[in-house]
Amino acid sequence: MLGRVNHIAIAVPDLGIATTMYRDTLGARVSQAQALPEHGVTVVFVELPNTKVELLEPLGPDSPIAAFLEKNPSGGMHHICYEVDDIVAARDTLKAAGARVLGDGNPKTGAHGKPVLFLHPKDFNGTLIELEQV
């Protein structure tokens, strides 16, 4: 089921500082910041040769990463996104295995305009997993 690691998401309290750090200190290629108000985040992509890191800063009052940053004020690794070929088939297999899908269980349109689902971290060793159909 699991395909490529599409991205590793890191929640950060200050996107400007984090972007400078990845670009200037760590010498990585970074994108312009993109505000995604419908997802409650502003994102910068750190482009690595084989995958990308997404730096996420909360945007708006209902950001899905606000609670995480309250618990981890310096930021931290937030989730891993894996690509899948068929997200509905993946969901059905996971649910049959007893794994919990967050929300109403139906794929939503993710930050890249593709169908995504999130799996409950308690079912996966404390790791929040996003699945994205590519």
Task: Sort residue 73 into left (φ over 0), alpha (ψ -120 to 50) or beta.
Answer: alpha
What are the tokens at 111? 């930050």
The single residue of 54, 57, 130, 132 carrying the catalytic annotation is 130
What are the tokens at 50? 């084989």
Binding to its own copies, residues 17-76 (CB under 8 A): 18, 21-22, 24-28, 46, 48-51, 53, 55, 72, 74-76
Write the CB contacts of 29 (distance below 8 Å, at least 6 apart in sequence): 23, 46, 47
57 is known as an active-site residue: no
Q: How far apart are the first and last CA of the chain?
A: 12
Mask of contacts with its own copies, 104-123, x by CB under 8 A? -----------------xx-
Q: Which is nearer to its own copies, 38 or 105 (CB)?
A: 105
Judge contact between 73 and 12, C-beta under 8 A: no
In the three-class reduction of DSSP (H, G, I as helix; E, B as strand; rest coil), residue 30 is classed as: strand
- 5 near its own copies, rule: CB under 8 A: yes
Summarize as ranges the residues that interact with its own copies (CB under 8 A): 1-5, 8, 10-13, 18, 21-22, 24-28, 46, 48-51, 53, 55, 72, 74-77, 80, 82, 93-94, 97, 99, 121-122, 124-127, 129
